[in-house]
Structures are given as structure tokens and as C-alpha cells.
A and B are shown apart, each in its own frame.
Chain A
Amino acid sequence: MSEISTREPLIKGNKSLTNITDDVFNPIVARPNKLWFFGLTIAGTAALIGLIAIVLTVWKGIGLWNVNKTIGWGWSITNFVWWVGIGHAGTFISAILLLFRQHWRTSVNRSAEAMTIFAVICAGLFPLIHMGRFLLAFFIFPYPNTRGVWVNFNSPLLWDVFAITTYFLVSLIFWYVGLIPDLGTVRDRMKTKFKKVIYRFLSFGWTGSAKHWQRFEIVSFTLAGLAAPLVLSVHTIVSFDFATSVIPGWHTTIFPPYFVSGAIFSGFAMVLTLLIVARKTMNLQDYITLNHIELMNKIIILTGSIVGVAYLTELFMAWYSSNEYELFTFINRATGPYWWAYWIMMTCNVVSPQLFWFKKLRRSIGFTFFMSILINVGMWFERFVIIVTSLHRDFLPSSWEMYKPSIIEVLIFVGTLGIFFSLFLLFVRFFPVIAMSEVKTTIKNK
């Protein structure tokens, strides 16, 4: 016990249980500030523009993008993998850390999970719209039909469909189940009738009885048990899209662990980006403390280092394999026309997280925010490097091509950022951002 007492408290400001409820509930009923409206306007506009770009793509054809005969996937799949990666932190925090009984997760898990769901929504959009025949996308599901056609279970793209829908559904249910006690609290405190009705519906008749709590705990742990392997499997399967192919730079057995750690790495970076802003604007400094940030930064060092080792292993294997195509691909990544993308990736993902070995930097809000952006950029470039630089110069030099995105591709990406932030802003406005019930348990411990 003495060890615990020497640790920093998880929640600062000597909060009573009522304080916590007030702090979390008030933003839901209060009129949001101008900053929130401003943010939502920008994000909403971006989402709308993205939507227009998507409609144009579906109507006119993928020809509006600059992907070509050699590089069949460009920004679309880069963004897909990036968003899926971001969608890893939430479930990791809530499921794996729950199983490992890391109590500090309680302050951040709610928003991290929400972020996961929104990121997976954005991610799932890309495989859909990158199809040449969007309107026939349902062909990808194994549904019984009179034509006697069936999907191809050999294709990693089909595994993706299952992996991502499963992950999305489990994450959504897990998040929602976690919300139920808090929604009950919100319902009880809500004054306006209309809102009360809605929250009543959403809280599924939660009364807070011991039976409810018992069931709640069972469901939470069961779902956590289900979600934990999913965190590892989703990105493993996404990495199979590349690992099972024949393209040098893709065909690598190291991809599953490398992708998963990269995903958690980028997910935590995105959580940090959002939370640093949220704690400032929503006065949650007492709940999301420097301690939280430091703990997350430690995970970033760990996963960032794994990613770094993976990069170096790839390079070593390229040389050690004596496969001329493989070796060329890696030399081309570092020195070819896309050298800048490679070095942005290396700097952001390998070099910069190492600065977190310094405690001072780990506990600096400004620096952490800067780093979180850097890592998100770096991880986006990682996917870009893997997809584009491997494809643009593969086996036959006669087909070598260059790729840069078209304005439509950029707008679709901006659109998903818009969707993501719109959803997040709506979430912080209408849902309890901090898992009150769980946070309260940590106080009791104290």
C-alpha cells in the first residue's frame, strides 16, 4: 500500500463524488461555447466537401483520382490503414488495460473509445469508395444468391471485411455498454423533458441496482476479453493485404506485429492530440492529468521503438535475403523519388519518440502535443511509403510510374478528418466524456 501512496493521485483537485458528476454533467447541459460552434462549423464543412468529393468519385469514376495502371492504391488505402491504426488506441486502452487492471485508463478510456469508433467509421469508408463499382459493393458479403456466386475466402481483402466489421461492432457495443451507467446518471439529472426521454431510452432503464452492476461487470469483462484479441487481429489482417502479396516491400512476414504496434503507436498519438485539446477547452485538467499523459507517452516510447526495430529489421532482411527486387525497393524508398516521404516517416516515427526518454519532455504538455501531431504525420507517411513506394517501382521497370494525389483524393481525406472531428465534437457535447462511474472507483481506492 505504501507504494501506491507514493504514486501521484489519478485524479487531482480533491474531488468528491458529486464534484465529478458535476464536472462531467455540466458540459452536457450548458450551452456550448463559441469555440465548439466554430469547430463544428469547420469540421462539418470539411465533412460536406468530402462527401461531395465522394459522390463525384462514385458518379464519374475513380479516374478523378490520380491512381494509375501501376499504382492501384494511393491515398485511399493509405488513409484507410491510417484511420484503422488510429482506431486501435481506444479498444486497447479499454480492453487490454482493463484486463491488466490499469486504473489510470478510466479517465481517458471513454473518449479514446469514441475516437476508435469514429476512426473506424472513417477507415471503413475508404475500402468502400475505392471500389470502381461502389454501387455493387455488397458483392463483397457472402450472402446467399440465386446466381451461385460466392466470395473468395482466399482474399485478404475479404478477411478485412470481416475483421473490420467485427472490430467495429465489438468496439461499438463495448463503448456503449460502458456508457450505460453514466447515461443513467445523465438521465436522472436532466431537466428538459425531451432530453430526458432520449437519455432514458439510451440508458436502457439503468437503475444502478446491485444486480445491474453485477451484470454490467460481467458484460464488460466478457466484451473486454473479446475485444482484446481483436485489437491484435484487426491490424494483423490489414497487414495481410500487403504481406500475402508478391510485391517487394509488401511481401514481408514481419508485417503483423509491425502493423499492430504501429497502430497502437498512432492511436495513442491521436488520443493525446484530442485529449490535450479537450482537457484544456473543457477544463478536465483534474481528470486527465500530467500523469495520464506521461503514462501514454511511455506507451508511445515502447510502441515507437518496436516500430523502429521493425523498420530496421526490414532493411536488414532486404539486404540479408539477397533478393534483388526486395533490396532495390528499400534502397528506392530511402533514395528514390519518394525519399522525402521515407525520411519524414523515419524522423517522425523512429527518432522523435526517443525524446520521451526525458521525463521533462514526457511531462511537457506543449511538447507532447507537438509530438502527437508529428507521430500522426509520421504514421500516415509510413502507410504512404509502404503502399506507394512499393508499387511505383516493382518488378518490370517498363511499368514504373509516379503518383501524386488529385485534388479529389485530398478532399476526401480532408472530408474524413471533418467527419471524425464532427463526430467527436458532437460526442463531447452530448455524452459524458469521462467515465464517471469508473473514475469514481479510483477515488474510492484512494
Chain B
Amino acid sequence: MAKYWKSLDGNTIENKDSKLEKISSTNRRDFLKMFGFGLASTFVLSRCENMTHKAIPYLIKPEEITPSMANYYASTFFDGDKYGSILVKVIDGRPIKIEGNELSSISQGSANSILQASVLSLYDDTRYRNPQINGADTNWSTIDNQIVEQLKKIKSEKGKIAIISQSIISPSTKKVITDFIKEYPTTEHIIYDPVSISGLLEANEKSFGKRVIPNYQFDKAQVIVGINADFLGTWLSPVEYTKQYAKSRKVDEDKRTMSRHIQIETGMSLTGSNADERIVINPSEEQNLVATLYNYIAAKLNQKELPVSTSATDISKLGDELLDNRGKSLIVCGTNNIETQLIINAINQLLGNYGQTISVSRALFTKQGNDVKMADFINNLDNYKGVIFYDCNPAYDYPASKKLSEAIHNLELSISLSTIPDETSVLVKYICPANNFLESWNDFNPKQGIYSLSQPCIHPIFNTRQEQESLLKWSGNNTDYYEYIKDLWNSEIYSNTNRVFDFNDFWNISLQDGVLELPENPLNVKFNYDINSIKLTEITNSGLELQFYESVNIGTGKYANNPWLQELPDPVTKVTWDNYAAISPALANEKKLKTGDVIIINSTLELPVLVQPGQSKNTVSVALGYGRTVAGKSGKDIGVDVYQMISAKDYRNYALSNISIEKTLDFKELATTQQHNSMEGRDIVRETTLEQYKKNPSAGNEKHKEIEEQHQTLYEKHLYKGHHWAMAVDLNSCTGCNACVAACSIENNVPIVGKEEVKRAHEMHWIRIDRYYSGDADNPEVVYQPVMCQHCDNAPCENVCPVGATNHSSEGLNQMAYNRCIGTRYCNNNCPYKVRRFNWFDYNNADALKGNLHDTQNMTNDLPRMALNPDVTVRAKGVIEKCSFCVQRIQEKKLKAKLENRKLNDGEIKTACQQTCPANAIVFGDLNDKESKVYKLFNQQRNYHLLEELHTLPSVGYLTKVRNKS
């Protein structure tokens, strides 16, 4: 088209042309320059963004290591208190998870939360990295020379040396100590337990001449009576006892019987919350009640009674029940009072329980502490020249902290063999850091005739050395401890076997299995103690009483620096990251206290109150294991230390009488994961009584059938052509112990959020255990319900996600595509079960933006990160996450079956929660397999779905709880 002039003045084409020329002054060379620069800078910048990580393959691949494939090694956990035979999952040379060993009759495949979480202690940032003299790093030869010199000097002066330790169940370690004592004959080995049962051991010695814990068999008892013994939570061997307990209480349509459990206790313990009947007493009433019970039974059996006034609590019904079940009952008591334990033994003897529900032939050795000896040692500290603290921390967990810390400074030689800095190790001169147990060789003898081994699953991360090797070295023995154990097994254990294999094979098999269980030699003990020589304490008015108890999560406090454990809610109270003074609702009313109010006990102990239904009225219960002063970030100054309040006169007494409490104006909010305790009359947990269940297996679950019939839909049902994954949870077995919560968090890299975030209801657990109270607030009934994603076939979360980040798999899984999620939280709102968790902050250092890490417990540091499971994605800030039915485990086993060209077997896939459950309450499987366990459970009349009236069609079924009420 022709260009017309607009005007003649100035605005000519010529002018325009000159402008054009200017613009196109860029010539070819310039263009190439710009182009080259652009290309180069794009290349350089893109190089800056993506760091190259080189993966170098093995030149010669070790036979058993395939990168990214897990190996399991049998090993053993024993921390001087709790024993567990374990399997350690190792990927690419890193131990990442601990599971129970199925071959062990003690663990039976399960592990409690402490055992599982202990893998993080291997990667504890605070661990000693080198031996230290007076706080300065040194090398092993220097420290060894100095120590040996000092030891020899003390020996020549005939000065006393003490090795202080917790219980030791390793035959080889015991021999190492004996060798040491041979070299330095003035050495004494003193054993104490932070939570002592010395009274029980002494009582047993008096009753039947053996200072051991007998083998309690809860599965053989029809009537179980626990008196202030939290045997499902903390007492002696809780995993084993839970296994037995659950076994005796499983019901199904063919077995409509179960044991009856009566718990007599002060505070609401995990065990008490599971009891069919719970009797509330004050600690001071305990002995009197036990004696009255004895008298009741003795009277009926025409035996001599004890001269004691009758207890205010009526025990006649209990006594009758026990008499009806002679030889099929079991009474256990957690007290450290020798007289009470003697009466307990006498009752069990009267009822003929020895040889039936209690045996001595498989005696338990996990607690050997001697309170009297330890008290003597503390009182005569000045007489000692040298003390070796063997993997123990008495400056914290023995009630003589002040005395001990003063005395250690005056010692000529003080050595700690601790792996991490603790209250005791910071006081001593020589620190000879021991290996973590996952880096060590050792052997164990937890029970008569049962042995196990531990093997290193990783090369020692730091410049540490096993404590046994240190002692061997100082005794002048340069043998490798591994050889030492092997020699001992050859000479002492192998000889007791039937010697089918030669020793090397025997050793390899034992090592591979992790356990060696020799046949049980029946051992009949004679009960020979004159009950009438017992000196009973007169019951007096004890005023307000304080009871100390071991926390299920934190235990004795050794693992206080473990954020996994700190963030686990207490099974009963659901409080995390704290201890507190549990008081009864009645006392709270009387003193005008509410949860969170800070009180001062005996003018020294400042604690927030927790109003605990079921707490005995005039008592206060406080957990041990908190208030560490020397620990890492997660343990230091969390809660308050109460070990120092325990009276340590001869036998440690875990109760105090006549305490005073004083209300302050302070308020300290507890970080609780559940705020509401009542089920509000909704049929969330359906329950029935055994009596009704016997008549009608669908008792308490009548609604299920009705709702099933009413399900209607316009839409087509999902077709599951291959598998249809489902899970059944037996509410009658579940004890609420939290092991599944720990397992899930460890397996699925669930982030730790810290106390402040838990207070804001931002905790991340994929599985939670709901706990509801019902009935009388002074002594309520308790139910537990594990709630994980229900993997609904008709999931409300799926249709509301605008981007389809959560969707349904062809196998019935409700799955999350984390990298598609934009974080609207609509799915979370619309989930009736509220199981979805949102990444409120960048907890994992996985966010695209920098400088916004929210890692309160240093879990993203290089070392703790080693515990992450490489099979599970670490989630970024702003996405929703939730239970996946452990899809990585499903895929692993499916692939394995495919490679082996066979069908998947039922029970082959185990989710993390199911794998560890000590009560075997969780069953996972394929609903399309009509022979599967889960299919059969789904067709039990006890089965129902949570909120099934909503037509969400969950893939999780619950089996009603059955109470054995009289």
C-alpha cells in the first residue's frame, strides 16, 4: 500500500529512514556477540542451579550390598533397662530403622517406641567424637596410658575402685568386668537401676532363694491383677507382656473367651486404662490392701492370716475371683517395697500360680540393681579413689546428684564410658566414649536359657571404642572383643547345646538369627518363707501423696534427647514434650486448679497441672525422665527432673507422703495432641461386654448391618481388578502403646515440629491413637482407637482437590502426588477423619525458597538426616501429606513377587504400624483375596467402619472392643 504524506513540514520519509538506520546499527558481529553471550550465560546460569552429584558405581560390588536395597541384620537392643531382639534395616550402609525380631520369644517381631526410636541416637549430633581428658579432645593411646598409670597407682596404694553400671546381661561383658577386677582386685562392681525393682528381687530371694525376676506368663492367666505395675507400658518387659496379654484377650467368633484384667493403681497408667476393672488407691494404701487380699484368700484356704487392719477398699470380689481361678491367675506389683512384694509372692503361692502362670526356669535378668549396695556406695564415696561410670548416668537418674557431683571432683580417677555428654560425664576427668550399640559387638542373656547377639551395622561414625574393649585394654588384654565373645560362646554356650553343627556354623546361625533359645529346663522352686515374719508398716494418714512413674515414651530419661520420642504423645494424656503433675478432677475442683496452672510441690518442684480422670483423689503423679540439664537440644530443660525427690534410704521409694502443693499465678500451656476427651455419645468406638458377645457376636455393632443395607449411590463403584488393599484394626487388642505411631513416623520420614508447633495443633503424625474416656470422671473407662487415613473408596478428599493431587489408585489406595499439591487444604477440611497433615513450614529443607527452614530440633543436620528412609519422599513446605498404607512396602513386595514369578502371599506385605504392633491389633491385606486374613476379619460380625453412615466406604475396618466386665 502506498504511503501517504501526512504533511510537508519535517515529518518526511527521509527522517523516518534515518531513524531506521539508527535502530538497525547492530551489525552481524554484534548480533553474534550478543547471541554468544546469551548462550554462554544461559549455560553458566543453568550450571549454577543444578549441582552435579556423581554416583560412582562399585568397581567390585560387595556380595550383599545392592545400592538402595535394604538389608536386615539381626541384633539386640539393651540399654540397661529394656531388652529387645531386633532387626536393623540397613540401606546403603546406613541403619535407618529398627524392627522386632520374629525369631525371639521375647520380641516376637515387635518393638516399642523407645527401641525403634533408638536408631536416631546413632546419629545424635551431640555424641562424643573423640576421647577427652578434662574436656579436651585427645587420642586413645594418650588416654589409655594415663588411665592405666592411674589405675596401677591406685592398685599399689590399695585404693578402692568402683565400676558403676546399670544392669548388665552380657555374659562376655560380665567376664570382661571380672577380668578387670582380677587385674585390679580392689575394684567393686555396683549395679543400680534408675527405676529400681530391688525390692522385688530381694523378696524373690527370700521367697525362693533366687534373686531374679520370675517369668510372668500373662497369656496363661485367666485373671490378671496388676498393682501399680504398668506392665503394658514400662514394667520390665512390656513388649513381651503385651504380646501375651493380647493373646489372652483376643476374641473371635470361634473363641468367645478372654482373660479378665483388674488393675489397682494410683495414676492412670497405660495398663490401667486397658483394664476391665480399675480400682483406685493411694500409694500408702497399697501394702495394706495387698495384706488384706492375702488375708481374705488365706482365710478361705484356712491359712494363717497377717495381723493387719482391713483395707478400706473392698477386695472380697477380687479375692473370690482369684480363688475361682487358682493356678490360672497372676498378681504382679510394681512396688519397690520388699514386704509388699513378699506378700504378693505369698498370694501367688497360695493361689498355686507358681509353675502355672509364673515360672522361674526362664527367669528374667534385665534388672539386677541393688539399692542397698548403691546407697552404701553413695554414702561412702570418700573411700573411693577411682570410679568408672559404665554407660550410666547416676548424676541424673540416682537421687544423690549433688553428693555425687561433689565427690567426683575429689576422686583421683574418674572415667565415663558414655556415648553422649550427660550429667555424669561432664563431671569426670576421662571420657572414653563408647560406640553406639549399632556399631558394637555384644552378647546378651536376657532370660535363663535365652541368648542373643548384637553386631555392628555401621562402622563407628566417630573416634569411639566399645566400652568392653576399653576395660579389656586397661586390664592388659589386647584381644579383640569380637574374638572374646566368640571364645566365650565356644566355651560356655556352645557346650550347652546339642552340638549338631560345628562351632563356626553354630556361631554363624546364631548371628544370623540374632537369638539362641535353648530348651527350657523345668526348675521347681520351693517357696520357703514364713510370711508371718514380715514387718508391716502401719497405715497412717499420709495426706496428699506424690507418685513417681516411668513415662512410656521417655522411659528413664536416657533417650530424652530423641525428638521422635519427645514428640510422641503420652498414650494416656496425649501430652508431648513435657512432664506435669497429674491430679484428679476432684482435687482440681477442691484446689481450684485447671490443666496448665503451675503449682509448686513441697516448695521446690514447679510443674504445670494436668487434670487426669481416674487419678486417685489425694495424689499427684509425676513422670520421671524429664528435666535433663546436660543433653542435646531436644532433651535439655524439657520438663522437670524429679529423680532427686525420690527417697533413697535403702530401697528407693517411688512415692512421697504428706506433700504440700501451692498454686501459683503462672500458666504453662501443655502441648497436647487431643483436646477433647469424650466421644459425645457418638458411636466412634463401638464396644460390648464379653457376656453379650458370647450371646451375639455383633453385639454393640448392630448399626453396621443397618448402614450397610442403606448404602445407595448413583455412581459406579470402583472396580478393583487386581488388589484391593485394606486394613483391619482390632480395638480389643490395641493397648494404645504408641509403637505404631513411632514406627510410622520413622518409616515415612514424618517431620518433627517441636513443642510450640504441637501447641498450635501442627503435629504431623500420620497415625494417631485417639483416646476417649467414658463414665465416672473419678475412675473412667478408657478406649483407644488408632486412626490413620481410611483410604475411602468414596473419598471426600479426592473430589475436592482442584488439581487432582490426591486421587484413587486402581488398588484402592488414596494416594498423594506431593509435587502436584498446591496446598489449598480443602481435602483436609473435607476429611471427616482429620488424618491429613499439612506442611506448615519448611520442616525438611525441601522448599524452593531459601532461608525459611523451620527445623527446631536440628533434624536436617547432616547426621540426623542419615536416618531418613530413602524410599519415601521428603515433603516440601505447603503440601498435604498423610498415611499411604506404606505404599513403598507394597511396591517392594509386589515387585519381589513379580521377579520371583509368583503370587503375592497374604501377610507378606506388612505396613510399618502393623509390623511393630506388640498386640498384633493391625492386619493389612488384600480384600480381593478371599483367603486373606483381612478379608476374614472384615467379615467378622465385630467389624465396622468409622463414620460408615457417611458412605465414605473406608478401607479400614475396626473390630469392636469387648470388655470382660463382671
Interface residues of A, Cβ cutoff 8 Å to B = 58-63, 66-73, 127, 130-137, 139-140, 149-152, 154-158, 161, 241, 244-247, 324-325, 328, 391, 393-402
Tell yes or no: B684 within 8 A of A by CB: yes
Once the chains bind, are A156 and B800 in contact (CB under 8 Å)? yes
Contact between chains at B837 and A247 (CB < 8 Å)? no
- Contact A151/B682 with A59-B852, A69-B838, A130-B824 known, Cβ cut-off 8 Å: no
A328 nearest in chain B by CB position = B680
Q: Closest approach, in angstroms, between the C-beta of B834 and any C-beta of chain A?
A: 4
Given A132-B823, A152-B799, also A59-B849 (CB < 8 A): yes
A247 touches B829 (CB 8 A): yes
User: Which residue in A140, A325, A391, A393 is a CB contact (below 8 Å) of B829?
Assistant: A391
Report the nearest B residue to A138, measured CB to CB.
B822
Q: Is the CB of A63 within 8 A of B675?
A: no
Given A245-B829, A396-B832, check contact A70 B802 (CB 8 Å).
no
B763: chain A residues within 8 A (beta carbon): 69
State the CA gap A12–B352 with chains docked (Å).
107
Assess whether B385 is interfacial by the CB under 8 Å rule: no
* A158 B950 Cβ-Cβ under 8 A: no
Q: Given that A133-B878, A157-B824 are contacting pairs, would A245 and B800 also be in contact in the complex, using a CB cutoff of 8 Å? A: yes
- Chain A residues with CB under 8 A of B536: none
Q: List 25 contacting pairs A-B, 8 Å CB cutoff, sorted by A.
A: A60-B854, A61-B840, A62-B823, A69-B761, A69-B762, A69-B834, A72-B829, A73-B825, A73-B826, A130-B824, A131-B822, A131-B878, A137-B822, A139-B822, A155-B800, A155-B802, A245-B800, A247-B830, A396-B684, A397-B678, A397-B682, A397-B772, A398-B768, A401-B675, A401-B761
In the complex, B820 has a CB within 8 A of chain A: yes
Asked if A72 contacts B804 (CB within 8 A), the reply is: no
Complex Cα gap A423–B875 (Å):
39
Which chain A residue has the least Cβ–Cβ distance from B826?
A157
Structural contact, B829 and A161, CB atoms closer than 8 A? no
Contact of A324 among B676, B682, B879 (CB under 8 A): B682
User: B674 at the A/B interface (Cβ < 8 Å)?
Assistant: yes
Tell me the nearest residue of chain B to A66, going by C-beta: B760
Those of B711-731 within 8 Å (CB) of chain A: none
Closest Cβ–Cβ distance, residue A164 to chain B (whole Å): 13
Contact with A along B820-863 (1 / 0, CB 8 A): 11111110111011101111111000011101101000000000
Nearest residue (CB) in B for A152 is B804
**Interface mask (B858-877 → A, CB under 8 Å = 1, otherwise 0):** 00000000000000000011
Q: Does B803 contact A (CB under 8 A)?
A: yes
Roughly how many angstroms separate A157 CA and B763 CA in the complex, as a whole number? 26
Residues from chain A with a CB closer than 8 A to the CB of B947 are: 395-396
B787 adjacent to chain A (CB < 8 Å): yes
The answer to whether A395 and B833 touch (CB under 8 A), given A69-B828, A132-B825, is: yes
Distance in angstroms from A133 CB to nearest chain B CB is: 4
Knowing A135-B848, A396-B832, A400-B676, the reply to whether A68 touches B761 (Cβ < 8 A) is: yes
Q: Are B823 and A131 in contact (CB under 8 A)?
A: yes
Q: Which of B677, B796, B800 is most buried by chain A, counting CB atoms within 10 A of its CB?
A: B800
A-B pairs, top 7 by smallest CB distance, nearest first, are A132-B823, A132-B878, A63-B840, A72-B825, A68-B761, A398-B770, A399-B834
Question: Is A149 within 8 A of B800, CB to CB?
Answer: no
Known A-B contacts A157-B802, A396-B770; the reply to A72 vs B837 at CB < 8 A is no
Whether A63 contacts B787 by the Cβ 8 Å rule is no
- If A133-B877, A398-B676, A402-B675 are given as contacts, then 8 extra A-B residue pairs at C-beta distance below 8 Å, sorted by A number, are A61-B841, A68-B762, A130-B824, A130-B825, A151-B804, A152-B799, A244-B800, A398-B770
| Structural contact, B820 and A149, CB atoms closer than 8 A | yes
Task: Check A132–B800 contact: CB distance below 8 A.
Answer: no
Contact of A140 with B852 at beta-carbon distance under 8 Å, contacts A61-B878, A69-B828 already known: no
Q: In the complex, how many angstroms separate the beta carbon of A403 from the nearest chain B beta carbon?
A: 9
A134 to B761, CA, bound (A): 22
Query: Is there contact, CB below 8 Å, between A396 and B834?
Result: yes
| CA distance in complex: A161, B826 (Å) | 14
B-side contacts of A69, CB under 8 Å: 761-763, 828, 834, 836-838
Q: Is the CB of B839 within 8 A of A61?
A: yes
Chain A CB within 8 A of B942 CB: no
B822–A140 contact, CB under 8 A?
A: yes
Question: Which residue of the partner chain, among B772, B832, B838, contacts A398 with CB atoms under 8 Å?
Answer: B772
Question: Which residues from B are CB-within-8-Å of A161?
Answer: 802
In angstroms, Cα B950 to Cα A403, docked, is 26
Which of A61, A130, A161, A391 counts the most chain B CB atoms within 10 A? A61
- B40 interfacial contact with A, CB 8 Å: no
**A70–B834 touching, CB < 8 Å:** yes
Set B796, B841, B946, B952: member contacting A245, Cβ < 8 A: B796
* Known contacts A140-B802, A396-B834; is-contact A61 B822 (Cβ 8 Å): no
With contact pairs A396-B770, A397-B682 given, residues A60 and B841 touching in the complex (Cβ less than 8 Å)? yes
Q: Which of B820, B876, B878 contacts A62 (CB 8 A)?
A: B878
Q: Assuming the A-B contacts A72-B838, A398-B771, are A132 and B822 also in contact, with contact meaning beta carbons closer than 8 angstroms in the complex?
A: yes
CA distance in complex: A400, B952 (Å) = 20
CB distance from B498 to the nearest CB of A (A): 54
A409 to chain B, nearest CB (A): 13
Give bound CA distance, A247 to B833, whole Å: 11
Answer yes or no: B453 CB below 8 A from chain A CBs.
Answer: no
Cα(A132)–Cα(B820), bound, Å: 12
Instruction: Name the B residues within 8 Å of A397 (CB-CB).
Output: 676-680, 682, 684, 772
Distance in Å from the Cβ of B568 to the closest Cβ of chain A?
A: 16
Query: Do the beta carbons of B787 and A396 come within 8 Å of each other?
Result: yes
Complex Cα–Cα for A394 and B682 (A): 12
Separation of A309 and B880 alpha carbons in the complex (Å): 38
Tell me the bound Cα distance from A135 to B876 in angstroms.
Answer: 13
Nearest chain A CB to B896 CB, angstrom units: 29
Does B801 lie at the interface of the complex (its beta carbon under 8 Å from any beta carbon of A)? yes
In the complex the two chains form, what is the Cα distance from A70 to B833 in whole Å? 10
Choice from A59, A63, A133, A401 contacting B757 with Cβ under 8 Å? A63
Bound state CA distance, A395 and B833, in angstroms? 7
**How many whole Å from B117's CB to the nearest CB in chain A?**
22
Enumerate chain B residues within 8 angstroms of A62, measured Cβ to Cβ.
823, 825, 838, 840, 878
CA distance in complex: A72, B848 (Å): 23
A249 to chain B, nearest CB (A): 11
Out of B830, B837, B854, name the residue touching A246 (CB < 8 Å): B830
User: Which chain A residues border B761 with CB–CB below 8 Å?
Assistant: 68-70, 401
Interface residue from B799, B821, B841 paired with A154 (Cβ < 8 Å): B799
Contacts of B799 in A (CB 8 A): 152, 154-155
User: Inside 8 A of A71's CB, which chain B residues have their CB?
Assistant: 829
- How far, in whole Å, are A345 and B783 apart by their CA atoms in the complex? 38
Give chain A residues whose Cβ lies under 8 Å from the Cβ of B771: 398
CB distance from B444 to the nearest CB of A (A): 39
| Chain B minimum-CB-distance residue to A403 | B761
Q: Pick from A62, A328, A399 the residue with the most CB of B within 10 Å.
A: A399
CB neighbors of A among B778-828 (8 A): 785, 787, 796, 799-804, 820-826, 828
Whole-angstrom distance from the CB of B67 to the nearest CB of chain A?
28
Shortest beta-carbon distance, A395 to chain B, in Å? 5
Q: Which residues of B contact A151 (CB under 8 A)?
A: 802-804
**Which residues between 170 and 202 of chain B lie within 8 Å of chain A, taking CB atoms?**
none
Tell me which of B677, B796, B828, B847 contacts A72 (CB under 8 A): B828
Q: Which chain B residues in 670-692 approach chain A with CB under 8 Å?
A: 674-682, 684
| Residue in contact with A158 in the complex, picked from B680, B802, B828, B952, CB distance below 8 Å | B802
Interface centre among A150, A328, A400 (most CB of B within 10 A): A400
Cα separation A67 to B879 with both chains bound (whole Å): 14
User: For B825, B837, B842, which residue has the most chain A Cβ atoms within 10 angstroms?
Assistant: B825
Give the docked Cα–Cα distance between A133 and B847 (Å): 10
* Those of B78-118 within 8 Å (CB) of chain A: none
A63 contacts B762, C-beta separation under 8 Å:
yes
Given contacts A139-B822, A246-B796, contact A63 B676 (CB under 8 A): no
Partner of A152, one of B803, B823, B837: B803
Complex Cα–Cα for A73 and B849 (A): 24
Nearest CB of chain A from residue B736's CB, rounded to whole Å: 12
